[in-house]
């Protein structure tokens, strides 16, 4: 039986988020939004759907692959769509929300990479271990040390 997180994540990624995207595209069409807004919201809804899919598939290799895409491809797409909206001469409030959300996601992921990055000197200090913990006494073979006092003749 799948867990509740798996069920909710897969339901959200397969039904709820795509349905919400279609509903939002119809709403954008009624407002006569420019095509750049559709691209920006495509990346935003795709990113949210990707996170829901990753939670629904976890723990698995497919979740790990989707997280790689969410950490590398999605921020680039969100950043490109946000810059496209910012450079477009006609702005609307809906367009500004998409641009700010996409830019926030791209900057947030870049910030997480910057915080998680280790400097070379820091990595060297972390790998230095006391010799008392690294060497082991191999003078007694393991089987002789574990030999039972009861002998079979």
User: pLDDT tens digit string along 129-149?
Assistant: 555 444 455 555 555 555 555
Residue 96 lies in a domain: yes
Quick check: is 142 in a domain? Answer: no
Please name the helix (run of DSSP H) or strand (run of DSSP E) that holds residue 85, with its range, or none: helix 61-87
Question: Is residue 127 in some structural domain?
Answer: no
Asked whether residue 146 is domain-assigned, the answer is: no
Specify if 90 maps to a domain: yes
Question: Based on the structure, what is the number of domains in the chain?
Answer: 1
Q: Is residue 97 part of a domain?
A: yes
Instruction: Tell me which residue of 15, 49, 27, 50 sits closest to 97, measured CA to CA.
Output: 27
Question: pLDDT: is 135 or 59 the higher one?
Answer: 59
Task: Look up the pTM and report it.
Answer: 0.72
Query: pLDDT by residue (tens digit) across 74-123?
Result: 999 999 999 998 888 877 888 889 999 999 999 999 998 888 876 666 54
Is-contact 59 67, C-beta < 8 A? no
Distance CA 82, CA 119 (A): 31
Q: Is residue 105 part of a domain?
A: yes
Q: State which residues form the domain around 75.
A: 4-121
**Nearest Cα to 37, choosing from 46, 49, 28?**
28
- The stretch 47-55 carries a mean pLDDT of 94
């Amino acid at each position: 039986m799948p867990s509740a997180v798996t069920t909710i994540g897969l339901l959200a990624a397969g039904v709820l988020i795509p349905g919400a995207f279609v509903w939002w595209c119809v709403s954008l069409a009624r407002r006569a939004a420019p095509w750049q807004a559709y691209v920006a919201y495509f990346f935003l809804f795709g990113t949210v759907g990707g996170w829901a899919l990753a939670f629904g598939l976890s723990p698995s290799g497919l979740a790990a692959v989707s997280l790689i895409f969410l950490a590398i491809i999605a921020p680039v797409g969100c950043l490109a769509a946000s810059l496209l909206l910012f450079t477009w001469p006609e702005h609307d409030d809906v367009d500004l929300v998409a641009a700010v959300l996409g830019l926030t996601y791209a900057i947030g992921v870049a910030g997480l990479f910057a915080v998680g990055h280790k400097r070379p000197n820091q990595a060297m200090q972390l790998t230095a271990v006391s010799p008392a913990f690294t060497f082991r006494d191999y003078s007694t073979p393991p089987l002789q040390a574990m030999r039972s006092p009861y002998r079979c003749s």
